[in-house]
Amino acid sequence: MIYSNKDVRRQDRLLTEEAARGLLLSGEYGVLSMIDAEGSVYSIPINYVWDGISAIYLHCATEGRKLRAIDKNQTVSYCVVGRTNVISAKFTTEYESIVLECTAHRNLSREEKMKALELLIDKFSAADKTAGMASAERSFERTEIIRLDIIRWSGKSKKVSPG
Ligand SMILES: Cc1cc2nc3c(=O)[nH]c(=O)nc-3n(C[C@H](O)[C@H](O)[C@H](O)COP(=O)(O)OP(=O)(O)OC[C@H]3O[C@@H](n4cnc5c(N)ncnc54)[C@H](O)[C@@H]3O)c2cc1C
């Protein structure tokens, strides 16, 4: 997973890799963009968890347009937006965001899927881990896990100085 901001036009608006990792870890959801089976662009918001290394996991139902899309074209983009702040008087917005270029993978082993569900529960339902793991076991056959391997990513941030 290569962190590269060399293509960012505004080189004065870069997010440090450390800050980008912080956002990847703490972000709640991102927008997954795909090319669908008919060749149209298709984007949806979806929760995720980072494995702490070079992949994120998504969970969903076992059918639907996004699965048909990634089965046809595994190259996807995923964008996470962190804190934002509209500054009315300056006609601008402070923001932080990351864009991940990824390959999507399905047909994971049972072990990897359960590990991904555990990571999701740890991130989103840590206080209810026991019930969450039981629920994951119960709904396992009705749940698909997508792994996005992060090939390249970049991070941008805009901060407006006061005054
Ligand atoms: C903050 C947030 C987090 C989410 N997290 C998850 C998650 O972790 N797992 C998960 O499976 N889903 C999640 N969703 C729902 C997700 O956006 C999709 O609706 C869902 O995954 C179904 O996608 P699909 O391609 O299988 O839908 P399908 O039902 O196959 O799509 C059919 C059509 O429905 C429309 N559509 C699909 N999704 C949306 C949408 N979100 N908004 C408007 N129109 C839509 C599109 O026009 C699409 O062509 C989340 C949504 C939000 C807003």
Complete domains list, the chain, with CATH: 2-109+143-154 (2.30.110.10)
Going by CA atoms, what residue is nearest to atom 53 of ligand 1? 45
Sign of the Cα torsion 139, 67, 118, 156 reads negative
Residue 46 near ligand 1, beta carbon < 6 Å: yes
Q: Cβ contacts of residue 47 below 8 Å, gap of 6+? A: 28, 29, 58, 59, 120, 124
64 CA from centroid of ligand 1 (Å): 9
Residue 80: the pLDDT is 98
Per-residue pLDDT of the chain (163 residues; tens, 9 = 90+): 999 998 888 888 889 999 999 999 999 999 999 999 889 999 999 999 999 999 999 999 999 999 999 999 999 999 999 999 999 999 999 999 999 999 999 999 999 999 999 999 999 999 999 999 999 999 999 999 999 999 999 999 999 988 7
Q: Using only C-alpha atoms, what is the Rg of the chain? A: 17
Q: Residue 116 burial (CB < 10 Å; 0-12/13-18/19+)? A: buried
- Ligand 1 atom index nearest CA of 42: 49
What's this model's pTM, rounded to 2 decimal places? 0.96
CB 44 less than 6 A from any atom of ligand 1: yes
Closest residue by Cα to atom 39, ligand 1, is 44
Judge if the beta carbon of residue 52 lies within 6 A of ligand 1: no
Per-residue model confidence (pLDDT) at position 12: 83
User: What separation in Å is there between the alpha carbon of 18 and the centre of ligand 1?
Assistant: 30
Q: What is the pLDDT of residue 155?
A: 97
Q: Ligand 1, residue 69: give the atom nearest the CA.
A: 25
